[in-house]
Amino acid sequence: MIKTKITEMFGIQHPIIQGGMHFVGFAEMASAVSNAGALGIITGLTQPSPKDLANEIAKCHDMTDKPFGVNLTFLPGFANPDYPGYIDSIVKGGVKIVETAGRSPEKFMPLLKDAGIKVIHKCTSVRHSLKAEKIGCDAASVDGFECGGHPGEDDIPNMILLPRAAEELSIPFVASGGMGNAQQLVAALAMGAEGINMGTRFMATKEAPIHQNVKDALVEATELDTTLIMRPLRNTERVLKNTAVDRILQKEKDLGDKLQIQDIFGEVAGVYPKIMKDGTMDAGAWSCGMVAGLIHDIPTCKELVERIVSEAEQIINERLNKVQVA
């Protein structure tokens, strides 16, 4: 068993967190991960309203008696969800862990901390991680360039980003972005992280409440099958290649500096239900990490978590112990 500051902080058995994922992080996903001894996360903004989130939290409580959290992504200024309402549902639902992402959660930290909630903020740079520490976050999820979704604009991979975070941070952090197997867990621990956060890898599990077409696509994909879109808009997103993504990249090439979000709206807005629920794989762009190259099967969450931890223990106890230190 691998015990770290993160397992102690969140009261979980294994140092593995399932990150928030749009139209993936439902109660079925979060409870399966938590029941496996890791930390499951409900994606807050996938729920249309605070009341819907309250119902999803209640459903998750019915499906697990283990700790689970809720992801709250703070969107750019033009989008204005009812964040106080969502936080109220989290508090009244008895959830004690929140994963924040996107913009800084500073404005809402008093609401969260007054309720005794532990906050882990997802950051794509050391400077953002230090800001999270400064505003009172309990932990950081340090997200490297390999990640699915938004990797930021610095393009720093985890082999550099994690040891840099370890140099600077006082709060514990987990490695996020491209994580999916035992070797990476051991490497993350070696570089100063207290665990790993997995998104894309958890999508390819039996319990993931998404269409089989999505799971099959992840198994079939290699590490070369993701690409970056919206870089000209400084809203870079790593996605799995498909025909919709090809159209976006062509528009970016043709329009250059004149590209506006409206030009690609049809390929990026409101597409997740069509992909995740209906399995229409070319309906639009969807987030996917480079870790797809390491996904070769579709196990249960319990099988996946236990395999990663047991193989990590084996690597630590056998392979690393055999390395001769002169």
Share of the chain above pLDDT 90, in %: 96
pLDDT attached to residue 106: 97
Hey, what domains does the chain have and what are their CATH numbers? Answer: 5-209 (3.20.20.70), 213-290 (no CATH)
Q: Which residues pair with 173 in a beta bridge?
A: 140
Q: Is the pLDDT of residue 32 over 70?
A: yes
Q: What is the pLDDT of residues 283-298, one digit of tens each?
A: 999 999 999 999 999 9
pLDDT attached to residue 326: 67
Q: Is the pLDDT of residue 78 over 70?
A: no
Query: At what angle are helices 126-134 and 158-168 packed, to 10 degrees?
Result: 30
Arithmetic mean of pLDDT over the chain: 96
**Joined tokens for residue 284:** 């639009």
More confident of the two residues 170 and 325: 170
What letter does residue 203 receive in the DSSP assignment? H
Q: Is the pLDDT of residue 142 over 80?
A: yes
CB 271 within 8 A of CB 245: no
Q: CA-to-CA distance for 111 and 296, rounded, in angstroms?
A: 42
